[in-house]
Amino acid sequence: MLPGTLFLLALVGAPLVVVVAYSFMSRGRFGVGVAGPFSVDSYVRLLFDTQLDGTKTFDPRYIGVFWQSIWLAALTTVCCAVLAFPMAVWMATRSPRTRALLVFAVTIPFWTNTLVRTYAWVLILNDNGPVSDLLGTPIGLLYTPFATAVGLVYVSLPFMILPVYSSAEKFDFRLAEAAYDLGARRLTVLRRVVYPAVRPGLVAGVVLVFIPSLGAFLQPQLLGGGKSLMIGNLIEQQFGASRNWPLGSAVAVALLALTLLTLMGFALAGRRGDQKASLL
C-alpha cells in the first residue's frame, strides 16, 4: 500500500502544493515558469487592473469568466437532473433484464472518447451541418454559449443518469402504488414519494456533473468559440499563449477553492438531509 500512496502523494498531492506556491509568485524570465519573492499580485489581478499611473481599477473580465462558468455549469446540472430523473425512474420500472441492457446502453457513451463526443457536436451544429440542413438556413448555432451548454449536457448526462438510477432501483415502487391507492395525484406521488427516495442519487449526480462542468475545457474550446470562455480556457491561456503561470495558477487555485466549497456544501446538505430523515 505504501508505494501506491506515496506515488499518489507525489503526483497528486505535491503538484497541488506547487501550484498554490506558484500562484504567490511572479512571472519568470521570458514568461516561462515563475520567479521572485512572495506576492499576491496574481490574486489582485483577478479583480483589479493596474493603470499606467499605478492606480487600480475594478476589472470585471476575469470575474466575468468565473460567473459565466458557474452559470453554464449550473445550467448543465439543472438540465441533466431534469432529463435524468424521468429516465432513471423509467429504467427502474423495467424488467431486470431490460434494466441491465439500459444501464449498459447509458454506460457506452460514457466510456467512449470525450474529444470525439464533443467534436460530434461541431459536426452537428456547424452552419453546413445537419441541423442547418433541417432548418433550411444556417442560424449560427456553433460557437455560442448554447453550443457549449449542449456539449456539456451531452458529456455529463451519464454521470447524472447512473447515480439517480442506482437510487431509483432500490426504491420499492409499491410505495408509489400505495400512495395512488390512498388518493394522491401523480405529481404528489412524484414529489412526496418518488423524489425523496431518489434524492441521494440526485445529490451525487449534481456533484458529479457540476464540478467537471465548472472546470470544463474542451466543450467551451471547441463549441463555444471565443464567446463562452470558461475557467478552464482562462487557465490554459495563461499557461499557454499569455505565458503568465502565476496568474494561471491563481485561477486554478480559485477553481480548486470553488470545487472544495461545492463539495463541502453538498456534504453539509447531505448530512442535514440525513438528520431530517432520522427525525421523521
Partner 1 sequence: MNREANREANRTRRVDLRRFPAFATVSVLLLVFLYLPLLVVVAYAFNTGRIATIWEGFSLHWFGDVVANADIRNATTTSLQVAAVATVCSVVLAIGIALGLAALRRTARGAVMLVAGAPLVLPEIVLAVATLAMFAFLDVPLGMTSVTLAHIAFCVPFALLPIRARLADMDQRVFEAAADLGASPWRVFRRVTLPLLAPGVVAGALMAFIVSLDDFLITFFVAGPGTTTLPIYIYGMLRVGITPAVNALSTLILLVSLLVLAAAYFAGRKRG
CB-nearer residue toward partner 1: 185 or 276? 185
Under the binding rule (CB under 8 A), the answer on residue 209 touching partner 1 is: no
- Of the candidates 46, 87, 103, 184, which one interacts with partner 1 according to CB under 8 A? 87
Smallest gap from residue 103 Cβ to partner 1 (A)? 11
- Confirm or reject binding of residue 236 to partner 1 (CB under 8 A): yes
Min CB(120)–partner 1 separation in Å: 4
- Options 26, 237, 242, 259; binder of partner 1; rule CB under 8 A: 259
Size of the site for partner 1 (CB under 8 A): 85
Does residue 122 belong to the site contacting partner 1 (CB under 8 A)?
A: yes
> Going by DSSP bridges, is the β-strand pair 34-35/48-50 parallel, antiparallel, or unpaired?
unpaired
**Residues in region 164-183 near partner 1 by CB under 8 A:** 172-174, 176-177, 180
* CB-facing half-sphere around the CA of 254: CA atoms within 13 A: 26
| CA–CA separation, 95 and 54 (whole Å) | 70
Among 63, 112, 264, 268, binds partner 1 (CB under 8 A): 112
Is residue 81 at the binding interface for partner 1, with CB under 8 A as the rule? no
Taking CB under 8 A as the criterion, the residue among 40, 44, 115, 139 binding partner 1 is 115
Q: Per CB under 8 A, does 89 bind partner 1?
A: yes
> Is residue 12 at the binding interface for partner 1, with CB under 8 A as the rule?
yes
Question: What gap in Å lies between CA 126 and CA 66, rounded to an integer?
Answer: 27
- Asked whether position 267 contacts partner 1 by CB under 8 A, the answer is no
Instruction: Name the segment binding partner 1 (CB under 8 A); options: 40-48, 56-64, 235-243, 272-280.
Output: 235-243
| 8: amino acid identity, one letter | L
- Of 48 and 122, nearer to partner 1 (C-beta) is 122
150 vs 137: CA distance, rounded Å: 20
Going by C-alpha positions, the residue among 270, 223, 213, 183 that lies closest to residue 78 is 213
* Residues 91-110 close enough to bind partner 1 by CB under 8 A: 91-96, 104-109
Interacting positions 143-162 with partner 1 (CB under 8 A): 154, 157-158, 161
43: contact with partner 1 by CB under 8 A: no
Q: Would you count residue 19 as binding partner 1 (CB under 8 A)?
A: yes
